[in-house]
Structure 1
């Protein structure tokens, strides 16, 4: 295992998830893999998949008990489930590998935790890993260090990067992602409202070589509030491939994929960005807000070195949960339990209904069904259509803060201390 030199640059690192652009022909998602937060393309949408209308605890193929509750989502690559977990005594952070078919533990690696303040809904294992065919990438941060590690699928450490201190109010919340040939890290720092004596951080975007961890490029960003959304890939027809992201200081912005050069930005936000932006045709869509409300969903259209706001939604806009684009529609669940379907191109609202509860997990669209799960573990299955229809509502038996995944005919749900696997091969 090689330990690479520490970069002396204060950082909160949010790794980018790629979202396949909808302008060009979108490659078919590989339904047997879920290699990053929100799955193939980073959008939480599997058009050919299906889920049952309803299920209960007796229907699970297996359940894996970690002895602790965390909000980081699992991933699936090569028949293995990878995720982070906190030890029951909160003294160690674990990288865990589980066999997808059987639920048996394959390996785990443990690393000591230096306690630090987090938001009441955050945990010490709130990051989602990323993986390709050969390697696994995980991240975590503490006030004195921000770690990005690479493992083989069998748990052998390959390289480690330490990007320096983590400056935030709410704790770590980044997720690594592979975008094309790059592993990209969104380092969003807190610039104010810090305890006495704590210097402001400095924000940047970082891209490294997945095989070696060596830096390819890094781009400075405006430092205001820590923002946790995972950026996306945007490849406009006839234009430059770019990484799009959202933060308070720069708004929605695009960086040249090859060099990291800022191509455009539109300052459309004044609050914190927590959800992940999505690509909807030639639009980039992001949200911002706070736990107290005042949320905005904004769509911009980039053109060359600028972008123009196309629409803005303030009623039913999510703060933490990310939108899902499915065909020409965008589905939302806001933090207070309002579900919506809007026209992704215009922002026109097809329907908005209160389904109840409070939300942190992002929605999932499988075929023609929309799954939303509240913080207290109530699942609601809706028709993913322009006309509202509730299919089922039922209790999962424990709190849910992590976004679910659907891979290789299996739905994985992090419920309380357990990871639960439901075989959905036949749907319902």
Structure 2
């Protein structure tokens, strides 16, 4: 326990003593990018800190909630940091030794994480365990949560939904001390796609090549969209109605989530494993070959396409797109034209930015911040020079995805109403989309 307490002080000592303390830390062998190298690329450190790992312990994954950055280790520990300042908020242990970690989610009062076959809810402010629940088998997707539900995908092909709050007559709604299984929905393959919540719906993909749209409050499958291959790691949405589905069949699909109609299909030329990033009125999609395209959300037509040689998303700013090469070198692309401003040779050799030990990252979908980490626990937050205020990729005031206006949907069938009596739920989908049922 004393080692843990000592390590928890490491980030604070780092912030207090600066580079000297960092050089003497357990992660001193990691070369943190210099301010000069970052400045050559128009970047600066938002913050840098060290997670409390030691001995054989290693960081497996970093992921983000709305205001926390989460660090997960192979010893079952989770460390939460303020996403803007890097300040350590709390640490908790949710499991034993594990070689895998799934992305974490949070709502207004709790954080939800899985370790092996156990789902754990932690108090958002303190990290105290609220409950632990056995899932029976290990999940294959990250969790997704709102204040009423948490869902997780399973390798058995099930999506499991738990109720988080309960009502007792006229008493105020309270948080459950143990989760209540609300429903299971089955698919024909492992659910590896992180579920996406809408206003009253949940969308999730499966290795069976289908994306399912279901109600959150009950086990009602509204419809499914069939593609020619497994669905990518993340779904995305644009506006209140466009559901974006990446597929291994080389295509990105845009579906009107309220009518089940395919709006457009973008052929990318290779499988799409990474989920698209939506920033304002632009949709950024990259295929497994590294071809990066920005799409018009109305037509699905590419405004430009640029080859990045197997690049993976890191983030998007108002003027640039940031990616990582297979060697973990930074690639910078102009957002308006698709021109490669800085290729791996320019960032690594000429600018001197060495990120090769920072092998852990994720596509940033909230704002223009960039986050990376090493397995030894060094965590780095970057921003563009002078960008002291984060720029959200979507306006916070927007209506939620899946929002149904008070007047309802006119002239087209509303999937939130009962299906017509002559609808055959077992009928084969037309144009790759099955009608709501």
- Could you say if the C-alpha distance between residues 149 and 233 of structure 1 is closer, same or farther in structure 2, counting changes exceeding 3 Å? closer
Distance (whole Å) between structure 2 residues aligned to residue 416 and residue 336 of structure 1: 26
Aligned equivalent of 1:318: 272
Aligned equivalent of 2:339: 389
Distance (whole Å) between structure 2 residues aligned to residue 384 and residue 53 of structure 1: 19
Give RMSD over aligned pairs: 3.3
Q: Is the 8 A contact 2:144 2:196 kept in 1?
A: no
Aligned equivalent of 1:161: 133
Aligned equivalent of 1:251: 210
| 1:174 matched to 2:141 | yes
Q: Map 1:118-197 onto structure 2 (within 5 A).
A: 123-125=99-101, 127-141=102-116, 145-166=117-138, 173-179=140-146, 181-189=147-155
Distance (whole Å) between structure 2 residues aligned to residue 83 and residue 75 of structure 1: 11
- Describe the superposition over 1:192-249 as per-residue Cα deviations: whole angstroms up to 9, x where unpaired: xxxxxxxxx351341321632533621422232x2322222345xxxxx322222233
Aligned equivalent of 1:277: 235
Distance (whole Å) between structure 1 residues aligned to residue 136 and residue 196 of structure 2: 25
- Could you say if the C-alpha distance between residues 405 and 53 of structure 1 is closer, same or farther in structure 2, counting changes exceeding 3 Å? farther
Q: Which one has the bigger helix percentage? A: 2
- Residue 133 of structure 1 and its aligned partner are, at CA, apart by 3.9
What is the TM-score when the length of structure 2 is the normalising length?
Answer: 0.64
Q: Map 1:20-419 onto structure 2 (within 5 A).
A: 54=41, 59=45, 61-65=47-51, 66=53, 68-75=58-65, 77=67, 81-86=69-74, 92-98=75-81, 103=86, 105-113=88-96, 123-125=99-101, 127-141=102-116, 145-166=117-138, 173-179=140-146, 181-189=147-155, 201-209=156-164, 211-212=175-176, 213-215=178-180, 217-224=182-189, 226-235=190-199, 241-249=200-208, 251-269=210-228, 271-281=229-239, 282-289=241-248, 295-304=250-259, 306-308=260-262, 310-319=264-273, 321-359=274-312, 362-385=313-336, 387-393=337-343, 394-395=347-348, 396-403=355-362, 405=364, 411-417=370-376, 418-419=378-379
Distance (whole Å) between structure 2 residues aligned to residue 408 and residue 284 of structure 1: 20
What is the TM-score when the length of structure 1 is the normalising length?
Answer: 0.65
- Could you say if the C-alpha distance between residues 412 and 227 of structure 1 is closer, same or farther in structure 2, counting changes exceeding 3 Å? same
Q: Is the 8 A contact 1:176 1:183 kept in 2?
A: no
- Residue 94 of structure 1 and its aligned partner are, at CA, apart by 0.7
- Could you say if the C-alpha distance between residues 309 and 248 of structure 1 is closer, same or farther in structure 2, counting changes exceeding 3 Å? farther
- Could you say if the C-alpha distance between residues 421 and 384 of structure 1 is closer, same or farther in structure 2, counting changes exceeding 3 Å? same
Q: Is the 8 A contact 2:153 2:193 kept in 1?
A: no
Q: Which has the larger radius of gyration?
A: 2
Q: Is the 8 A contact 2:314 2:324 kept in 1?
A: yes
Q: Note the residue ranges of structure 1 that are not aligned, 5 or more in a row.
A: 1-50, 87-91, 116-122, 167-171, 190-200, 236-240
